[in-house]
Amino acid sequence: MERILSGIKPTGNLTLGNYIGALKHFKDFQDSGEVFIFIADLHALTLPIDPKAINDNTRDLAAFYLASGLDPKKATIFVQSSVSAHAELNAIMQNYLYMGELSRMTQFKEKSAKMNDSAIGLGLFAYPVLMACDILLYDADIVPVGEDQIQHVEITRDLANRINKRYGKDTVVVPNYRVNKVGARIMSLSDPTVKMSKSDPKGDIFLKDPMNVVRKKIMSAVTDLGSEVKFDKENKPGISNLLTIYASIKEISIEDAEAHFVGYRYGDFKREVADAVIAELEPFQQRYQQIINDKSYLAVLREGAERASKIANVTLNRVKKAVGLLDVYGE
């Protein structure tokens, strides 16, 4: 059975980009494969974050996972820091990714460019090492992510191939990324030439936004010259982004979405996009709220950590042995 693994960082408010690019699709794998979905809380520490924020966001994310339709009987849902194998494998793997390749990572370049050198933590630079460990520990075959994480899965493949070449071909499994055909990169509503990200309140739709705010944000999304609802990323980035959002939510192709809106004016088009997003987010929020209130996510995370640890420790021990670390409890 195929192993599928993905995670989200508990930083800031989750956006419609996170939902469409990743979260919404995790459940699609749980009937056909073995699914591991985790909260990347150690990764959240790579930029300054308030202790209460990371704690609250972790709870939110657990509830979002469950509200998205992930079934804890089928999928293993856990918090990264509760499975110590992640940090242990990281201590080994940090020796096999190199300064040159890490400094070329887009995410590192973008995040560090906004910071003073003296404030950039080692964890931000070494981020892809820990992410690779997250993936390799579960022998993951498939890693569903949005477009911005492809590079990190690719460096994980480089690392896995390097390890297998040096220590034997079955030491770790080489993973593949999976991005959706539609919606792998949702853009900001206020500037459709940049990605929707957790730190852009104007251009974001947050998963916790009240429905009237969602509608308002979509109705005031930046559109383009002309009046035709057509998918054209170059000349109509705003309309194309809204069409992408609509197609992803409705689970139809861009062509079908375009065909649906032939002859629409921008205003009516936006109204229908807003209706579609609201029809999806409103029941999702209700499920989220119930799970937050009844705290049922806690037992799920505890059980998830136990299941995940068992599997992760098998890989960790295999790697320790391969690189020559002595198991004082074994032979």
Shortest distance, CB of residue 199 to ligand TYM, whole angstroms?
A: 10
Identity of the residue, 194 or 219, whose beta carbon is nearer to ligand TYM in the bound complex: 194
Residue 57 lies near ligand TYM (rule: CB under 6 A) = no
Distance CA 47, CA 119 (A): 9
Distance CA 298, CA 290 (A): 13
For ligand TYM, the binding residues in 146-185 under the rule CB under 6 A are 146, 148-149, 152, 184-185
Shortest distance, CB of residue 324 to ligand TYM, whole angstroms?
A: 27
In the list 34, 41, 60, 134, the residue contacting ligand TYM (rule: CB under 6 A) is 134
For ligand TYM, the binding residues in 6-25 under the rule CB under 6 A are 6-9, 17-18, 20-22
Identity of the residue, 134 or 258, whose beta carbon is nearer to ligand TYM in the bound complex: 134
Reply yes or no on whether 114 is catalytic.
no
Spatial CA neighbour of 126 closest among 110, 148, 102: 102
Helices 297-323, 85-93: inter-axial angle, 10-degree rounding: 30
In the list 131, 174, 207, 221, the residue contacting ligand TYM (rule: CB under 6 A) is 131
Binding mask 182-201 for ligand TYM (x = CB under 6 A): --xxx--------xxx----
DSSP state of 182: S
Reply yes or no on whether 111 is catalytic.
yes
Distance CA 281, CA 66 (A): 14
Spatial CA neighbour of 155 closest among 97, 100, 107, 91: 97
Residue 79 lies near ligand TYM (rule: CB under 6 A) = no
DSSP state of 229: -
Distance CA 20, CA 184 (A): 7
Identity of the residue, 90 or 149, whose beta carbon is nearer to ligand TYM in the bound complex: 149
Reply yes or no on whether 295 is catalytic.
no
Residue 321 lies near ligand TYM (rule: CB under 6 A) = no
Distance CA 243, CA 269 (A): 9
Q: Residue 131 to residues 78, 127, 155, 221, 238: CA-CA distances in angstroms? A: 15, 6, 10, 34, 32
Amino acid occupying residue 167: Y
Active site residues: 111, 195, 198
Q: Which spans of this chain sit near ligand TYM (rule: CB under 6 A)?
A: 5-9, 17-18, 20-22, 40, 43, 131, 134-135, 143, 145-146, 148-149, 152, 184-186, 195-197
